[in-house]
Amino acid sequence: MARPSRGRVRAMNLDEITSGLAKTELLYLKQMELAKAEAKVVKVVPEKRTQAYLLLDKTIFHPKGGGQPSDRGKMASDQFALEIKKAIFHRGVVVHWGKIVTGTPSTGHVSCELDWSYRYLVMRRHTAAHLLDHCLAKTTFARVETTDSWLDEPCYVGYRGKPPNPHDIRQVDDVANEMINEGGQVRIEFLKPGEGKAVLENAPNFERLPDLDEVRIVTIEGCEPIPCGGTHVANIKEIGKLSNLRAEEMPEGTFRLHFSVGD
């Protein structure tokens, strides 16, 4: 009999771990600024003696997905403390995996805290990625289509098409930094499935949208609305200076725009 791949073993485990549980309430969808929250542990699955999977009724931990790396942080109660290393989204449930620092994890009340400096960096990068979509379209007078993105290291957005020439890259850089300097609100709203299609058909990630019960729309002032479940800053001023913008040609007629954010 063929041995299952590691990926399949993992998927099976996640099926077991999340079996019978209600969907996790995703606090980060509406309150991205929450660095701390109280929650209830509804299930604990120990792994070895020093690690465990914790499942909560609600969470501030954004799981890896949509180009956004997993949040990390801490969870603690009177009985235990854990260093949370990653959050995984599986069938509507967020599975938190961590290393036990003290005690034995158990169900009941828990205090959660994100590694906020990392999350805030990801929020700034994520918002900058949307701004790049807009500025690229504006500079090249073309509809842009994203292929993927990654907001850890390396930090980039992938697009279909030929890489922009150096002149266009400078133009994108200028337009993006002008917009950041001026500032602009980042608005979040929720649409029911079917309501969003007309609003969203120009979105650069339209072909890659996950199957969500409720579509979350993110609109940067002056830009096209975009469906997205990630975490963003409230105003693009918070991105800081966008720098180190460069294009990298990739296989199959695609390219990446690499960038940094900071002051």
Q: How far is CA 8 from CA 2, 11, 15, 38, 100, in A?
A: 12, 5, 11, 33, 26
- Least CB distance to Zn ion at residue 124 (A): 12
- Under rule CB under 5 A, how many of the chain's residues touch Zn ion? 2
Q: What are φ and ψ of residue 245, in 5° steps?
A: -75, 125
**Token pair for 59:** 């969470």
Q: Which stretch binds Zn ion (CB under 5 A): 39-47, 81-89, 208-216, 223-231?
A: 223-231
For the bound state, the minimum distance from the C-beta of residue 218 to Zn ion, rounded and expressed in Å, comes to 5
Nearest distance from C-beta of residue 42 to Zn ion, angstroms? 28
Instruction: Please report the DSSP string for 114-178 in residue order.
Output: E-HHHHHHHHHHHHHHHHHHHHHHHHHTS---EEEEESSSS-EEEEESPPPPHHHHHHHHHHHHH
Q: Out of 105, 164, 204, 230, name the contact with Zn ion by CB under 5 A.
A: 230
Q: How far is the CB of 207 from Zn ion (least distance, A)?
A: 16
Cα–Cα distance measured from residue 257 to residue 164, given in angstroms and rounded to the nearest whole number? 9
Nearer to Zn ion, 204 or 230 (CB): 230
Provide, rounded to whole angstroms, the least separation between the CB of residue 191 and Zn ion: 15
Our CB check for Zn ion shows the closer of 200 and 228 to be 228
The answer to whether 72 touches 107, Cβ cutoff 8 Å, is no
Rank residues 14 and 234 by Cβ distance to Zn ion and give the closer one.
Answer: 234
Q: Rule CB under 5 A: say whether 228 interacts with Zn ion.
A: yes
Structure tokens at 150: 């990654």
Residue nearer to Zn ion on the CB measure, 98 or 227: 227
Contacts with Zn ion by CB under 5 A lie at 228, 230
